[in-house]
Chain A
């Protein structure tokens, strides 16, 4: 195979190209050309192609690029002496490069206009989001006892998918987190001879914060993503259109059973998480701090008040709603085909985990800010 080579020289107000204007060499050629052009101060130059042997689409795009660069520098470039052998390719692939085109490309909208535009678009999305929330709660509450328009057995099915199947992983993760938290705090507390307070610490942390939070994050990752991709797939394959055409409301048909299921199972999973987290701490207490099982449990029972558990459960329900609505929102707004499904699924998980943590801070403030510091 012959080597591909191309060269550019400058002579008499003309860039003279020779050789092969092919993909492997154009980027080097572009640099060489720019080096020449930078030293020039002409208004018009010619691009002489008489010595060019071959050209491909990259070569043709390259010439356009040179022309447009010239224009930006205030030079009109004209192509001359096009050999017969390359004229077809050139005329097929070369694009129109002129001042107008460049101006269009350059024109940046003023920043205020851009912000306005952005807000305008978001406006629509916010409206969609609110409509979705309204629909979900409307169908969820008003139609709770009407069977028509929803899927038989779907609620139980969803409870199994969202709740039962998540039991092992939520349990395991909670146990490990309780275990690790206890381990880390034990070392500190032991210094003060206050080992027994590991029980208090973990009990309060698990019920108020970690239990609901761990569960919500696990469920957002597991079920939130599943809900988004299921709905998005249905949108893409026109299943939602088919439902509408048969007089069924997709939110009601698809989402409401999931809404019930997640509202039911999240608090249960959260309680499990609380218990297993404390259990993890108990294991550390027993093996590492020599606290007996009974004293540990007594200590936990002592420190926990109803409010801790109730706020934990309220949180878990709010997180559940956040997860299911964010998941559905992203699912319904999918654009494009299969790759769109992947995109919205990722977005949904990221946003719902963020929403959960954000809501957790707000709820923490509401429930506990300004409360008297508990003394023992």
Chain B
């Protein structure tokens, strides 16, 4: 089945029998999944089922217990730090609450990856920061501190930081959690723009049904750390799997 999908389009992220957890507690069991180019792949499931854990293992913020994780077709589980950082430079991550550094301004936050991974001049960096912030309609907040922003604005700013280096691949952890329906919809449109206008492939974690309906091309359904279903949104809804039906009915 994996081969079939792979032949249709390029796989950017994939795992094979990934097991992971914290300390002694196993959270993920034999997770095999993949996400393809120019698609939005949504990882869904109820709260606590291990979505964030999967995401963090995908970019090796935690070392997986066993199994393989490939990004851009390269095995990252046994990479050393410089190699991993080279991969991560081509990956953007939007964390659940934005995770902007609180002691520096929004502009400085967006500049971090640019300073870290490029030798651009100060004025070039400034220009790029402005472009990215304008892209997410946050140009007016350049010199604000993250603590002065609302939840939705924080996520936008964090999104600007995540795409600072024009990564071909973007991970988002619950971009719409804790936002009102209007703001959620705005953010979803922004994510769609990332895919359509910038050609970014996106892996998004969500438990927000309205949002999944709007943005997801493919879904991966996690249940208690196991992959229950993988495929298109339409297939998922008609697959007749009890947990998935319940998820969509109650979300």
A residues whose Cβ falls under 8 Å from a Cβ of B: 148-149, 151, 233-234, 237-239, 241-248
Contact = CB atoms under 8 A, between A and B. Distances in A.
B95 A247 contact: no
Contacts of A237: 97, 99, 102
Which 10 pairs, one residue from A and one from B, show the smallest C-beta to C-beta distance?
A247-B85, A242-B99, A238-B99, A245-B93, A238-B95, A246-B113, A239-B99, A241-B61, A247-B88, A247-B116
27 contacts: A233-B102, A234-B101, A234-B102, A237-B97, A237-B99, A238-B95, A238-B96, A238-B97, A239-B99, A239-B102, A241-B56, A241-B61, A242-B93, A242-B101, A243-B101, A243-B112, A244-B61, A245-B91, A245-B93, A246-B88, A246-B113, A246-B116, A246-B117, A247-B113, A247-B116, A247-B117, A248-B112
B109 to A, nearest CB: 9
Interface string B164-183: 00000000000000000000
In the complex, which of the residues A234, A237, A238, A247 has the most CB atoms of chain B within 10 Å of its own CB atom?
A247
Nearest to A241: B61
Contacts of A243: 101, 112
Interface string B56-74: 1001010000000000000
Interface string B92-115: 010111011110100000001101
A242 B56 CA distance: 10
Contact of B61 (A151, A234, A245): A245
Nearest to A124: B23
Given A148-B116, A239-B102, A245 B97 contact: no
Given A237-B97, A238-B95, A242-B95, A247 B61 contact: no
A303 B172 CA distance: 67
Contacts of B158: 242
Interface size class on chain B is 20 to 34
B190 interface: no
Contacts of B89: 247
A331 to B, nearest CB: 14
B157 to A, nearest CB: 12
In the complex, which of the residues A243, A244, A246 has the most CB atoms of chain B within 10 Å of its own CB atom?
A246
Contacts of A148: 115-116
Contacts of B113: 246-247
Interface in B105-146: 112-113, 115-117
A234 B61 CA distance: 15
Contacts, number: 50
B116 A245 contact: no
Contacts of B95: 238, 241-242
Contacts of A151: 104
A237 B146 CA distance: 12
Contacts of B61: 241, 244-245
Contacts of B97: 237-238
In the complex, which of the residues A148, A151, A233, A242 has the most CB atoms of chain B within 10 Å of its own CB atom?
A242
A245 B117 CA distance: 12
A148 B115 CA distance: 8
B99 A246 contact: no
A248 B116 contact: yes
A246 B166 CA distance: 13
A241 B88 contact: no
Nearest to A244: B61
A149 B82 CA distance: 13
A247 B85 CA distance: 5
A242 B102 CA distance: 12
A325 to B, nearest CB: 21
Contacts of B93: 241-242, 245
B78 to A, nearest CB: 17
Nearest to B62: A241
B101 A246 contact: no
B240 to A, nearest CB: 30
Contacts of A244: 61
A248 B91 CA distance: 14
Given A148-B116, A245-B91, 7 more contacts: A233-B102, A234-B102, A237-B102, A238-B95, A238-B97, A246-B113, A246-B116
A246 B113 CA distance: 6
Contacts of B104: 151
B159 to A, nearest CB: 12
Nearest to B52: A238
Nearest to B112: A246
Contacts of A242: 93, 95, 99-101, 158
A247 B100 CA distance: 15
Interface in B32-58: 56
